Amino acid sequence: MPIQKLLEPISNFLKCETPNQWIAEAINKDNLPVLLIDHLVCELKAAQSAMFLIRKYAVDKESGDALLGWLKPFEQFIYCKEGTWQELANKNKLSKSIIPKSNSPYGQELIDKMVLLIKEELHHFYQVLEMMNEYEIEYKHITPGRYAKGMLRHVKTHEPETLIDKLICGAYIEARSCERFAKLAPLVDKKLGEFYLSLLRSEARHYQDYLTLAEDIAGTDITERIDYFGDVEAELILALDDDFKFHSGMPK
């Protein structure tokens, strides 16, 4: 599929484009370390968020423990600096089949989509580490940006609206990532640009998967709620932000 056709639904979904001021900061070579490190952490957080949804809503404790074990070496690398990044190449494996809880109203579709998403996000995590090695960037702890927290602050606190809202937030986060990869790809080094382009197809599908799950679980028209979070997301992207990150707003 041509890139423009792939991006068309993303452009229609998002309420604003990434500002040129952010693009200028992102292609500044001085900002490459924080851009890649934050990208790395975002891949892990995406996997963690998907895992949380499966464990909370769809599987029993045994399957939930298997999911925790899957993410453990990646989390230990980030939070405890344990192991080497090269060792993670062989760690992206789930130890058992994930079985839905008998009383789960969400079932196999949520599991299938989120397990695939986790697998792909962890693969991207390793690929970002390869890019960091290519550019001689060492991993170090950085403070989280305000973007995801700013989205999740608006999530309702009663079910199933909580789950639906979180899925909508996931759709916007994946869509924005896709849009920014596409904008950066032609403006950065060839190797990094090719890497960003390679992510577009999966990021676009992740956005669609989140949105489809939200609509299916709601069982009613959620256009108003999607529009609401679209406005929240656009406000975060266009607001002045003194902390440059992959999903940050307008640089001050």
The pLDDT tens digits for 104-131 are 777 788 998 999 999 999 999 999 999 9
177 burial class (0-12, 13-18, 19+ CB within 10 angstroms)?
A: buried
With cut-offs at 50, 70 and 90, classify the pLDDT of residue 85: very high
Q: Read off the amino acid at residue 109.
A: E
Residues, the chain? 252
Q: How many CB atoms lie within 10 A of CB 223?
A: 9
Residues 6+ apart with CB under 8 A from 152: 166, 169
Three-state SS at 59:
strand
Nearest-angstrom CA–CA distance, 126 and 58? 27
Structure tokens, 203: 């990021």
Proportion of the chain above pLDDT 90, given as a percent: 83
pLDDT score recorded for residue 60: 86
Enter the pTM of the model. Answer: 0.94
Q: How far apart are CA 96 and CA 63, in angstroms?
A: 8
What pLDDT score was predicted for residue 1?
Answer: 60
Task: Please state, in angstroms and as integers, the Cα–Cα distance from residue 218 to each residue in 53, 54, 231, following that order.
Answer: 15, 17, 20
- Where b means 16+ CB within 10 Å and e means fewer, 67-100 reads beebbebbeebbeeeeeebeebeeebeeeeebeb
Report pLDDT for 61. Answer: 86
Cα(56)–Cα(107) distance, integer angstroms: 12
Q: What is the mean pLDDT of residues 164-173?
A: 97
Is the pLDDT at 103 greater than 90? The verdict is: no
Q: Which of 240, 127, 239 has its CA nearest to residue 181?
A: 127
Q: Tens digits of per-residue pLDDT, 7-47?
A: 999 999 999 999 999 999 999 999 999 999 999 999 999 99
Q: Do strands 240-241 and 250-251 pair parallel, antiparallel, or not at all (unpaired)? A: parallel
pLDDT tens digits along 233-251: 999 999 999 999 999 999 9
Q: What is the pLDDT of residues 46-79, one digit of tens each?
A: 999 999 999 999 988 888 899 999 999 999 999 9
Is 212's pLDDT higher than 70? yes
Q: What is the DSSP letter of 83?
A: S
Neighbours of 205 (CB within 10 A): 17
Token match 């008998």: residue?
102
How confident is the model at residue 2, as a pLDDT?
A: 76
Place of tokens 């960091």: 132
Determine the residue type at 172: Y
Identity of the residue numbered 156: K
Report d(CA 205, CA 93) in Å as an integer.
21
